[in-house]
Amino acid sequence: MRKVNLNEIPEQERKSPKGKFGRASKNISVALGREPASLDLSKRHPFDLALVRIPKGKVLCPYHAHAAESELYLVVSGRGSVRDKDETTEVGSGDAFFFQPGEAHQLWNAGDEDFVYYVIADNPRSGGATGDSCYYPDSGKWAVVKEGSEEVCVKGTETDYFDGEE
């Protein structure tokens, strides 16, 4: 059995350059021995678990849709707003919600205290080292994985499948 205590997992912060986006998270799966680049499910784990904290006034990340990943959210404390393709919904302590691949979503803190939740994501194995890519409908860009697990964002125009290949 692998065991960790959440109090011993370091919190990793991520902020955007202008400060609109911000979060702190504890990657519980990695603390339990997950090796993100491995294709061996005993090292990769079939899902990821993280504890995420969005500070007052911050947005988690831009509106996006995963190509292959599903995400289940369980709210611990605070209030948040969740945007999907049809509406914005307020969520709070005890609420759970789910997004399938292709369902665009965005979360932000809608209260005066930290918005805290667990997110459980499956680990698709196709499509690069992480098995997923993201599309950002508001800006028309894609986040994709290059060789070596490096993520890059690209923006371009639609093209034919064989363009530049022959």
**pLDDT tens per residue across span 115-129:** 999 999 987 654 444
DSSP codes of every residue in 66-113: ESS--EEEEEEESEEEEE-SS-EEEEETT-EEEE-TT--BEEEE-SSS
Mean pLDDT rounded to a whole number for the chain: 89
Domains of the chain: 6-127 (2.60.120.10)
What is the Cα–Cα distance from 101 to 133, expressed in whole angstroms?
10
- The amino acid sitting at 144 is V
Structure tokens at 6: 């959440």
**pLDDT tens per residue across span 59-109:** 999 999 998 899 999 999 999 999 999 899 999 999 999 999 999 999 999
Long-range contacts formed by 39-47: CB under 8 A, 24+ apart: 39/125, 44/123, 44/125, 45/123, 46/122, 46/123, 47/120, 47/121, 47/122, 47/123
Q: Where does the pLDDT of residue 166 fall: very low under 50, low under 70, confident under 90, or very high at 90 and above?
A: confident
